[in-house]
Amino acid sequence: MAFCTRCGRPIQEGQICSCSVNQMPKTNTSSKQGFWTSMKNHMGIGDPERNLTDCYERGQRIVPDSIKTNESEIPVKQYDIAVLRILLKFERAEGRMQVTNKRVIFRACGRSMAGRTTLQHEFAIDEIAGIEARRDYKFSFLHFLGASILTSTVDSILITIFIFLLFKAKALAIILSLMVGISA
C-alpha cells in the first residue's frame, strides 16, 4: 500500500489521490476591479476568498510544494490554523501546520507593504512534547487612543447640540431630554 505524497492518505498503487486534483478559483477580470482591488490584493486586505494572489500559497502543501522532503519523509496531515495580521503595517499572512513522519512545520505566507513575507518554524517530531492552542488578543494603545478620541468627539458634538437646543428652543430641549432619559 502506498501513501499520497501531498496529504498522506493511503492509496492503491498507481492511483491518484483526490487532493492532487488542483481546482483553481475563478478570477474576476472585469474592468470594475480597478485600482482599489489591485491595492487590496497587493496589501493582503479585504475578503480572503477574493484575494487571489499566490502569495498565500493556498492549495499548496508545505512538503513537497514549498519545502523539499527529507530522506524517507512522508507527509501525514496539513492544517490551516492561523491568520496573522498587523493592521498598522498592512501585513497579513495565512499560517499552516504540516505533520510528517519526521517533523512538524509551521509556515505563514502573505503580503506586507514591502511585498511578500514568510514565517517558518520546523521542529523534529521527537522534540514535540505537547501542543498548546490559544487565541491571543493583545492590548493596543493606538486602538485605545483612537477609540478615546472618537468617543470624546461624538460626546462633544452631542453636548453642543443639546446646549444649542436648550437655549434656542426650550420646549424641544425638554422633550429631547425626556426621550433620552426614557430610552436610558
What is the model's pLDDT at position 41? 60
Nearest C-alpha neighbor of 56 from the set 108, 115, 122: 108
Q: Which helix (H) or strand (E) holds 145?
A: helix 141-168
- Does the structure show a pLDDT above 50 at 158? yes
Q: What residue ranges in 30-102 does DSSP mark as E strands?
A: 75-86, 91-100
Instruction: Compute the radius of gyration of the chain from its Cα atoms.
Output: 26
Mean pLDDT of 15-19: 73
pLDDT tens-digit readout, 101-143: 999 999 999 888 777 888 999 999 888 888 787 777 777 788 8
- The pLDDT of residue 98 is 93
Residue among 68, 61, 134, 75 at smallest CA distance from 104: 75
Q: Which residue has the higher pLDDT, 28 or 44?
A: 44
Question: How many contiguous H segments (helices) and E segments (strands) does the chain have?
Answer: 3, 6
pLDDT in tens, 54-106: 688 888 889 888 888 888 899 999 999 988 888 777 888 999 999 999 999 99
